[in-house]
Amino acid sequence: MAEISSRVSTALADRYRIEQRLGQGGMATVYLAQDLKHDRKVAVKVLRPELAAVLGADRFIREIKTTANLQHPHILPLFDSGEADSFLYYVMPYIEGETLGDKLDRETQLSIDEAVRIATEVADALDYAHRHNVIHRDIKPENILLHDGRPMVADFGIALAVSAAAGGRMTETGMSLGTPHYMSPEQATADKDLTARSDIYSLGSVLYEMLTGDPPHTGSSAQQIIMKIVTDDVKPVTQTRKSVPPNVAAAVEKALEKLPADRFGTAKAFAEALSDGTFTSPGVAAPAGAFDATTRGPAWRVVTAAAGVALLAGIVAGWMLRPVPERPLRPVQFFIKSDSVHLISTAAGVALSPDGMVLVYGARTGSGSMLYRRRIDELEPQPIPGTENAHSPFFSPDGTEIGFEDPAYGGVRSLRRVRLDGSPPRTITAGYEGNVLGADWRDDGRIVFSTWLPSHVYTVNADGGPAAFLEPLESVADSVPIAGPIFVDDDAIAFASWGLDTRIGVVSLRSEVVRWLMPGSGPHYLASGQLLYVGDDGSLFAQPFDVAKLDTAGTARRIAEGLAFGLGGETVLAVSSSGTTITYGMAGSEGRDLVLVDRQGKEQVLLQDGGFWVPRFSPDGRRIVYGQTGGDEDIWIHDIVRNTTTRLTLDGLGNNDPVVEPRRQERRVFPLLQRQGSLRALHNRGDPQSPRCREWNAVD
């Protein structure tokens, strides 16, 4: 970095004297400099060398000229631009003050009057630029400078210049234009034809943060934020700040509509709504059945409605798991269901305390997802602080703590632990490879856990330290992913294969001998000498097990039916140490429905009683492509207009997660993620032999 700064100083020495570096962003490094010709302080922004190499000087300079003539009291003007020693740079006034981002970092929230004033003045600047056919594309608090309290929008049109100069090759730089928290949905989905309404969405996001203290969507990674922008509804500002006037709340809501056509037509209209006390309409809903051909998506949103319950927790009497009962007890069962503000995510996994009294599971709320705990003798679940976006929970032997995976803590995957008394979480280990597929915590402090993509099995001490490969199972993991490893005793571990062919296995840590026992998944060992597992038909079995021989010892008994399976054949199952309490996810008795919901809340059921997975619209909004779970797993296409359904893939081998190719004129491929570890793009006639069919390794 010092070498680059020295080169920049030398390259610009005839015009500007570089005095210090002010900061660095995604596209450029900013320097404070003295303009030698005009004897004034300026801010010199130098594009990152790798970006400059892709753009080329001539076209960048030609494109940036379109923004040089913008003259507005709330737009920071462009003084100069050029190339020097392969560096591309542009020069703007140096403003003594702070950015809106700095102010929000310090104050978190602004007064309503100040927030509305800033947004109104920025909207005035946007309206001026839009009327001159210039779209900013990167409105965010860091690009709004405050000079004596007056907002000045910086970098106006720079993102447009960079995008145009790149000629559609931005992906070669490994960078994207825009800041995730403030991107419009069409910008987040890489729509090249952005309109002024994209800037209006971004300004709405900035105003939302000024009023509430947070952007409309937050997350632990850019990918997570973008997914929320595209799929999740924005929580009304009045839920966080009740004092926001109705017209301001309505204006923010309209500015943040997902469809560009539903937002304000101009930035001026947005500003007028903020000052109009009578403005109350959040937008105009499209007529039923209508599709907006001018936008990236249709005027509907598609959902899959689960008809079955999410979790069944039962106090299963000891007579169900003991050969000779002394006193049969009647089993007691209760259900835990999702509601409108608490959507249970069985994919995050469930855990049950050793005494069977506390259930931990993942759930999504309006603000994201986290782990929740619920005592079986209480009605309401409680969130576990510090477990945002966590999954794969597992209990400590004494039941006072849970371990879990945080997929992005400190920028890397981390296995963490947290006490249920509200103490802050702490890290067990971090930086391992793959996504956790289950873990178990032994009373001597050992933890065993498995991962997928890549497939590994690790051991680590609960007090912290590096994770080490569990060598006896590494050779197995090389050929098939391992899920849900659990200690049978100090020297043996049971596990299940993960994928299309699920089997229960056991390994001796002393002899390193691996034995496959039976088809099934979700093994749990009980102190009573039984191995619980889920059969291929969704039944829960109790199998007598001889620990000394590491082998079955009698006939398995069916103790429950109707358990749900995940995409990898895994089950949602948690068992207390004694086996007196079992929690499991149930398959919906009525399947799931594929439903269209318009903006007025009117529902239209397209298909019923199926395992619909990741439905996606075609670019014209006339068709829906989706995966099918349960039985043959293939990709299907449903034509909404003709009410016909066509099968795209024919092998039934775990095809899922369809993503429609975004180009409108070439609706020809659907990338499909196969559970067997490859990513394919098929011609829409489903011909895997087509020369336009490509395949990639999913690890890549």
> 471 phi and psi, to 5 degrees?
-55, -45
127, 138, 199, 593: which one is catalytic? 138
CA distance 616 to 640: 12
- Range with top average pLDDT, 356-365, 598-607, 678-687, 690-699: 356-365
Contacts of 240 (CB under 8 A, 6+ apart): 211, 212, 213, 214
**Burial state string for 611-621 with b = 16 or more CB within 10 A and e = fewer than 16:** bbbebbbbbeb
Contacts of 148 (CB under 8 A, 6+ apart): 97
Residue 554, token pair as written in the block: 């009698």
pLDDT (tens digit, 9 = 90+) per residue, 184-240?
988 877 666 789 999 999 999 999 999 999 999 988 666 678 778 877 889 999 999
Please say whether the beta carbons of 612 and 592 come within 8 A: yes
- The strand ranges marked E within 442-490 are 446-452, 456-461, 468-469, 482-489
pLDDT (tens digit, 9 = 90+) per residue, 146-181?
988 899 998 875 666 565 554 443 433 334 444 689
Q: How confident is the model at residue 4 (pLDDT cuts 50, 70, 90)?
A: low
Contacts of 666 (CB under 8 A, 6+ apart): none
Based on the number of CB atoms within 10 Å of its own CB, is 558 exposed (0-12), middle (13-18) or buried (19 or more)? exposed
Residue 294 burial (CB count, 10 A):
10
138 is catalytic: yes
- The continuous run of DSSP H or E covering 364 comes out as strand 358-365
Residue 691, token pair as written in the block: 């020369």
CA distance 28 to 222: 19
Please say whether the beta carbons of 106 and 99 come within 8 A: no
Residue 39 has pLDDT above 70, yes or no: yes
Torsion over CA: 48, 53, 58, 64 (sign): negative
First and final CA of the chain: distance in angstroms? 30
State whether residue 62 is helix, strand or coil. helix
Please say whether the beta carbons of 370 and 362 come within 8 A: yes
Please say whether the beta carbons of 318 and 297 come within 8 A: no
- Region at 603 (left for phi over 0; alpha for psi -120 to 50; beta for the rest): beta
Whether this model's pTM surpasses 0.85: no
DSSP-derived pairing of the beta strands 678-683 and 669-674: antiparallel
Q: How far is CA 494 from CA 103, 358, 513, 598, in A?
A: 55, 24, 12, 48
pLDDT (tens digit, 9 = 90+) per residue, 299-335?
343 433 332 334 544 433 333 344 333 333 334 455 6
pLDDT (tens digit, 9 = 90+) per residue, 549-575?
999 998 998 887 777 665 455 577 888
Residue 676 has pLDDT above 70, yes or no: no
Residue 286 has pLDDT above 90, yes or no: no
Please say whether the beta carbons of 531 and 524 come within 8 A: yes
Contacts of 235 (CB under 8 A, 6+ apart): 216, 366, 367
Range 2-20 average pLDDT: 82
Residue 274, token pair as written in the block: 């903020």
CA distance 146 to 141: 10
- The strand ranges marked E within 62-107 are 80-84, 87-93, 98-99
The residues facing 365 across adjacent strands are 368
pLDDT (tens digit, 9 = 90+) per residue, 499-519?
767 899 999 999 999 999 999
Residue 683 has pLDDT above 80, yes or no: no
pLDDT score, position 381: 84
- The continuous run of DSSP H or E covering 129 comes out as helix 112-131
pLDDT (tens digit, 9 = 90+) per residue, 572-584?
788 887 666 676 6
Mean residue pLDDT of the chain comes to: 77
State the chain's maximal CA–CA distance in angstroms.
Answer: 98
CA distance 256 to 248: 12
pLDDT score, position 63: 67
CA distance 63 to 85: 20
Using a pLDDT cut of 70, give the percent of the chain over it.
Answer: 72
Please say whether the beta carbons of 442 and 487 come within 8 A: yes
Alpha helices by DSSP H, 302-382: none
DSSP-derived pairing of the beta strands 456-461 and 468-469: antiparallel
Residue 396 has pLDDT above 70, yes or no: yes
DSSP-derived pairing of the beta strands 150-153 and 391-395: unpaired
**Residue whose pair of structure tokens reads 């993960």 in the numeric block:** 498
**Burial state string for 214-243 with b = 16 or more CB within 10 A and e = fewer than 16:** bbbbebbeeebbbebbbebebbbbbeeeee
Please say whether the beta carbons of 700 and 694 come within 8 A: no
pLDDT (tens digit, 9 = 90+) per residue, 48-66?
776 676 566 776 777 677 6
Residue 272 has pLDDT above 90, yes or no: yes
Residue 482, token pair as written in the block: 């391992």
Return the amino acid letter for 87.
F
The residues facing 42 across adjacent strands are 33, 93
CA distance 96 to 149: 11
CA distance 538 to 645: 28
The residues facing 84 across adjacent strands are 87
